[in-house]
Structures are given as structure tokens and as C-alpha cells.
A and B are shown apart, each in its own frame.
Chain A
Amino acid sequence: MTIRLKYFGVISEITQIEEEVIHMEAHMDVQKLQNLLMDKYAQLNSVSYKVAINESIENENIELKENDLVALLPPFAGG
């Protein structure tokens, strides 16, 4: 299935892009997607972030659906 990804803050610096589309097996959940991304971008391991699915913060490890939009939001505190 196709998953659309959006990266913010320090995460877009690690990935070097702000958006991308990836293809993964069906019935994958958020945790599996995170593992996949950590394999692709090793430095993701050392940052904390929240996951938003289809523009809503998601705290559970839910199953992803075709064409879901997944955003990774790191906290930042600058002012």
C-alpha cells in the first residue's frame, strides 16, 4: 500500500526532504512504519516526535490504510 509522509523540524533535516511517498505491505501498523523509517534514516532513532495520521495526532499503534497521510512532528521550544 502507499503511505504519504510529511516531516517537520529536525526530522526533515534528517530525511533531507519534507514529503515523500513510500510503499509498504498491507496491514502494517504505525510501529512497523516507524521501524521501516528508522532503517532508512538511522538518526531518527535519537529524536523524539509525535505521529499524526490524516492530520490528527495518533497515540495508539493503529493499522495504516492505503493512502494514509502520516506526519512526524518533533517538539521544539524556540521563541
Chain B
Amino acid sequence: MTLTDKEKVRYSRHILLNEVGIKGQEKLKNAKVLVVGAGGLGCPVLQYLAAAGIGTLGIIDFDVVDESNLQRQILFGNSSIGSFKAIVAKERLKELNPTIEIQAYPEKLSEGNALVLFNKYDLIVDGTDNFATRYLINDASVITGKPLVYGSIYRFEGQITVFNYQAGPSYRCLFPTPPGPDTVPNCTQIGVLGVLAGIIGTHMANEVIKIFLEIGDVLSGRLLLINALSNNRSVIDIPRSEEQFNKVIEIKDQFEDQDYELYCNQVSELDDLIEISADELKERISHGHEMQYIDVREIYEEPKIKALNGICIPMGEIPESIHKIERSKTVIVYCHSGIRSRIAIKSLQEKHQFNNLINLKGGVISW
């Protein structure tokens, strides 16, 4: 597709650049980019890609706008609160650039829809906020052969790189497996500097544009780390691991049967999860309530709680230890910080119909 006269005016500052020109701008017009997550990273990425004239933009996000998003998710305003991010973003971007095609998917990216969706686009942008979706996106990008522009933020620090580009590495070449439960602080509890999302998001948009224009050095095989407080930048080389690619290719035909949330030990909010604080539990014990205690940590994990003297059933042994768990009285399930025990309760409730399980909020460290 060639540029219309109006587009030549709109993109004149691009076209003036020798590195872009009419040909380059046409490459952008013919590009199809899917942005997963219209949050802190997704908003600036989408804004600049739309303004730059990427011809087809897809936006997938199942979430709705919350007031606490407005500190960094710059496509939204007060009137967006409660509306689907994908839909609001599309409307806002249409106003910014009516000459491009925008497809909004107000749904969750899943094992079931990822491959079909990715196949409709040339490049994927990962602006999500959890490991399960990040591993899902990586694997689906590897399987469909799409380059993946990756960004991630934590407090005042960000990471940017391009995965699966030409013969470059993938996310799994950097982090082969998800971090264990309890080892990474929960995103909603740690906070993030709003403008950092913009700094990292605009770097991501820059990589997308360079890839389509075929100019400059694409951040493939190199992880760029930026610290907004110190202004320090580091670049770390990521070697490609054929083994990691092969592992993903092996599951290609069973991709829809994978469960990335389970794989990443990630649980969504449980509506029917009952929790008890350490203080409340001590109170109950002092009143002589008789309960069973299950410690789902590994056997070697310390400290043990003498007052509870729980039966140790590590996560991996739960399936064969169902018979050890009482059904006729209250059972307190606990672990180091209260995350693994939540996962255990979710699984026991869903697969074994337990309705007498209570999670020790904050785990052993709160005792």
C-alpha cells in the first residue's frame, strides 16, 4: 500500500529523514503490530506506534480502567474509569490517527487464542504485568515465528529487549523457567514510578519502528537496563540457546493444553478464599478451637511453627496426600508467605471439593 497525499503531509517529518523517506513510511503503513497489555507500558507504545503510522494495531487487554491506573496509563482519563482498556485505547488512538486500522480485543490472551491472534500480526509487543502471560507470549511468539519486543518495569528500574528476532534469543534464553512462588514481590504491592513506564514504553516503540524501517541496531540479544533514579544504563548480552527454542517447539502441537498460570504458580484472586491473620489464629487457638494444620512448604524450610505443629505436605506431594487432609473440621493451610498455600487451596477446592480450608495470611513470616 502506498501513501495518500494526506498521509504524506501527516508523516512529513518522518519522510524528511533520509533513513525513513516515502519507502520507510510505507513500510510502517504495511506493518501489523499486536500490543498485549494496554497498561503502563502498552499506553506509550500504542500512542507512539499510532502516531508513527503503523498501519494495523491490535490491542488485547481484558482489564478495565481503575483510578489507580491513571498515574501512568496515559491513554486514559477520569471518564474511562470502569471501561475496557482495549476499547478506550482504540477510541483515543482513532482520534490521534484516523488513518490507521485498530482492532481492540477486550479479552484475556490465553493458550486458546494466542496462536490464532499472533498469526494475524507481524510483530508482538509484550507490555503485560505477570510471568504467566510473559511465558505464554514468548512461547506463542516462538511457535508462530514472530519477533517480540519486550519491556518490564519494577519500581525505578526497567528492562527492554527484542526476542525471537532473526537468529536472536528468546525470553527463555534469558530466564529459562519462571521464578518460584514467594521469590518475586507482588506487583500490586511494590509500586512503580509512573514516568518510568513512559521511558521504557517509548524505548519499546522505538525498537518496533526500527525493526520495520530496517534501520539502526535492533536490541536483539542484548538486554538494556535503565535506572530512572541513577540514570545508569547497562547492556547485557543474552546468548541464544537452541535447547530453549527446541523445548518450545516440542510443545507446539499441545500448546492449547498448556496451563501457564499453573506453570508460573500464579493464582488469580480467589472469590471464595478464606484467610486468617496470625493474630486471629492465635486468638482462636487460645479459645481451644480444634483445627488441623497443613504446612505446604518443603520439608527443609524453616522456621517450623511449634504452636501449630503442622503436617508437612510439600506442594508437589499434595496430589497423593489428599487422604491426610481432614474434611470434617477446619484446616489451616500455610507456607512461607501465604502464596503457595493459596495455590494449594485453590487446587484442593477446585479438584477435590474441599470447603473447609483457611489460608494463613502472610504465612510463617507473619507469625
Q: Nearest CB to that of A54 among chain B residues?
A: B237
With both chains docked as a complex, state the minimum distance between the C-beta of A12 and any C-beta of chain B, in angstroms: 8
Complex Cα–Cα for A73 and B235 (A): 12
Complex Cα–Cα for A71 and B159 (A): 14
Tell me if B153 and A76 are in contact (CB < 8 A). Answer: yes
Q: Nearest CB to that of B177 among chain A residues?
A: A48
Complex Cα–Cα for A74 and B185 (A): 11
A79 touches which of B41, B157, B179 (Cβ 8 Å): B41
Interface string of A1-40 (1 = CB under 8 A from B): 0000010111000000010000000000000000000000
- Chain A residues with Cβ under 8 A from B183's Cβ? 46-48
Tell me if B37 and A77 are in contact (CB < 8 A). Answer: no
- Chain B residues with Cβ under 8 A from A75's Cβ? 131, 175, 178-179, 184
- Chain A residues with Cβ under 8 A from B234's Cβ? 6, 55, 71
Complex Cα–Cα for A55 and B354 (A): 50
Interface string of A46-79 (1 = CB under 8 A from B): 1110101001110100000000000101111111
A77 touches which of B130, B225, B227, B232 (Cβ 8 Å): B130
Q: Contacts A46-B183, A57-B239: A79 and B154 contacting too (C-beta < 8 A)? A: no
Tell me if B153 and A57 are in contact (CB < 8 A). Answer: no
Q: Nearest CB to that of B187 among chain A residues?
A: A78
A residues contacting the other copy or chain, number (CB 8 A): 22
With both chains docked as a complex, state the minimum distance between the C-beta of A2 and any C-beta of chain B, in angstroms: 19
Tell me if B225 and A78 are in contact (CB < 8 A). Answer: no
- Chain A residues with Cβ under 8 A from B159's Cβ? 76
B residues contacting the other copy or chain, number (CB 8 A): 46
Q: Does residue B134 face the partner (Cβ distance < 8 Å to A)?
A: yes
Among residues 68 to 85 in chain B, which have CB atoms less than 8 Å away from a CB atom of chain A?
Answer: none
Complex Cα–Cα for A75 and B230 (A): 20
- Chain A residues with Cβ under 8 A from B19's Cβ? none
With both chains docked as a complex, state the minimum distance between the C-beta of A49 and any C-beta of chain B, in angstroms: 9
- Chain B residues with Cβ under 8 A from A8's Cβ? 157, 225
Complex Cα–Cα for A43 and B187 (A): 19
- Chain B residues with Cβ under 8 A from A76's Cβ? 152-154, 157, 159, 184
Tell me if A77 and B185 are in contact (CB < 8 A). Answer: no
Tell me if A71 and B185 are in contact (CB < 8 A). Answer: no
- Chain A residues with Cβ under 8 A from B184's Cβ? 10, 47-48, 74-77
Among residues 170 to 227 in chain B, which have CB atoms less than 8 Å away from a CB atom of chain A?
Answer: 173-175, 178-180, 182-185, 187, 190, 192, 197, 223, 225, 227
Measuring CB to CB, which residues of chain A are less than 8 angstroms from any residue of chain B? 6, 8-10, 18, 46-48, 50, 52, 55-57, 59, 71, 73-79
Beyond A55-B237, A79-B197, 13 additional contacts (C-beta under 8 Å) are A8-B157, A9-B154, A9-B155, A10-B185, A46-B182, A46-B336, A55-B234, A71-B234, A73-B225, A73-B236, A76-B152, A78-B153, A79-B39
